[in-house]
A and B are shown apart, each in its own frame.
Chain A
């Protein structure tokens, strides 16, 4: 394959207008998942759960693969897998070190199970590959409705526990003393995270969930510490990555996930540079009085 055909495979904008109409649902799905990922991601960062997201997504993959094998609903399968993993982590890993080792144990087990189920499956190969790398192109209206409904539920629940969850995430000892139900909130958040991971897997696949749930929030945190700005930027970055990724991917022949992850990564790199330039200049919001 020469350079021209590679570029042709990655970027091609022939018949773009017609394609756009065809993938309307996917674009909406991408926007919804960007919104969800951006919101949930800020708490993933505050609670230091990046590794947990990865662990949950592997179990979610196993659940989806099992559903595929027995001919059941894939979304439902991945939901079961990820919520089970999230609850397990929430119940067992109270301390950070515990949590990381439990994730390290669960993750390869989940991936192994998933591979087992996929090897037993005799259907289309594209279905298998899709679980790992995403398959947003084929979102139909019903799927979109289910996705949007689930996302609305997760966001509403997150809004309801927003302040105490934030308190418990950034200042757990004091939150406990002030009567915030720290343990319960941790479990509720793990369930919300599990659902978000399962939904995101439909778009970017099990291997790339981090690009949706971690990278945008991490990028936002490089450039600001103001809570409202962090949330707003995180959402904007995530939606830009998903919707932008889908729009770019339309013409090419390769899956959508590389576009989404690359955009997400570039945003992070830019934010990191901006953040370090500001740190070098010593800009951190402190008022300096003239002497």
Chain B
């Protein structure tokens, strides 16, 4: 099948900090593709390249048959969960509505079409009951369901997700990742899922891109999530333990990614 996302010889560097170099990658429709790595390894920058918000140093990135561009209709985007202020003047259905026609000029005329689409999307993610509740009064999990509905508004061929499960409880992690997986298979969309935690999506993932220390590795979770591969990426010994279908990485070095302000200690963290 023709790939929907392609990178050829892609390199990205901020100042002296190399994120990755010479990255060749094809993501096919219907593929659930996870991007893993410690903080500051360039996971979010990877998404920004696909969104057309970040230029590559060298190489090229294409979506469908065309170079990546800002505002591409092929893309749906689920941002990191960031709670809305309690008095944000917007209801759940208005948030979804932004995905439907928020980018168009002028006023929304002929409301019924947009309203029908919004109702469909709310139904799809199981958010109909709180359609009219101000977003600021919803829980993080509920807000993130709405983000999924919002991202699906245009029937995207590629669904880009930036840590969509962050700060959700286990129940909502499962619900939101199942929704995303459903879109992946039902609509044959490619999913690019950035996360530092593979376990909530381990059952869905087809391939992973693991970024660390300016190096990367692409492959199935079985190929990449091993003691040998990760030790090589990190340049020091880390232990990968498989237990009950979960993957635990032990002994991650501190600040693997150079001198970046928001690099947190990741030692001993489940990855």
- Do residues A180 and B71 form an inter-chain contact, with CB atoms below 8 A? yes
The answer, yes or no, to whether A280 is at the interface (CB within 8 Å) is no
The answer, yes or no, to whether A13 is at the interface (CB within 8 Å) is no
Complex Cα–Cα for A225 and B99 (A): 18
The answer, yes or no, to whether A125 is at the interface (CB within 8 Å) is no
The answer, yes or no, to whether A258 is at the interface (CB within 8 Å) is no
Least CB distance from B243 to A in Å reads: 37
Least CB distance from B105 to A in Å reads: 6
Complex Cα–Cα for A242 and B236 (A): 71
- Do residues B94 and A178 form an inter-chain contact, with CB atoms below 8 A? no
Task: Give the 5 A-B residue pairs with the shortest CB-CB distance, closest first.
Answer: A179-B71, A285-B132, A167-B102, A225-B134, A287-B129
Given A174-B79, A286-B130, check contact A180 B91 (CB 8 Å): no
Q: Out of B77, B107, B108, B131, name the residue touching A174 (CB < 8 Å).
A: B77
- Do residues B105 and A226 form an inter-chain contact, with CB atoms below 8 A? no
Most buried by B among A45, A287, A289: A287
Given A225-B90, A227-B94, A285-B91, check contact A179 B107 (CB 8 Å): no
For B72, the chain A residues whose CB sits under 8 A away are 179
- Do residues A176 and B53 form an inter-chain contact, with CB atoms below 8 A? yes
The answer, yes or no, to whether B133 is at the interface (CB within 8 Å) is yes
Binding site for B on A (CB under 8 A): 42, 45-46, 159-164, 166-167, 170-171, 173-180, 221, 225-227, 230, 284-287, 289
Least CB distance from B134 to A in Å reads: 4
Most buried by A among B69, B88, B103, B133: B103
Closest to A225 in B: B134
- Do residues A163 and B106 form an inter-chain contact, with CB atoms below 8 A? yes
Given A170-B89, A174-B150, check contact A163 B104 (CB 8 Å): yes
Q: Out of A170, A178, A285, name the residue touching B77 (CB < 8 Å).
A: A178
Complex Cα–Cα for A286 and B122 (A): 13
- Do residues B103 and A226 form an inter-chain contact, with CB atoms below 8 A? no
Q: Out of A162, A170, A175, A177, name the residue touching B106 (CB < 8 Å).
A: A162
Closest to B77 in A: A177
The answer, yes or no, to whether B124 is at the interface (CB within 8 Å) is no
Least CB distance from A178 to B in Å reads: 5
Closest to A275 in B: B87
Closest to A167 in B: B102
Q: Out of A46, A161, A173, A289, name the residue touching B79 (CB < 8 Å).
A: A173
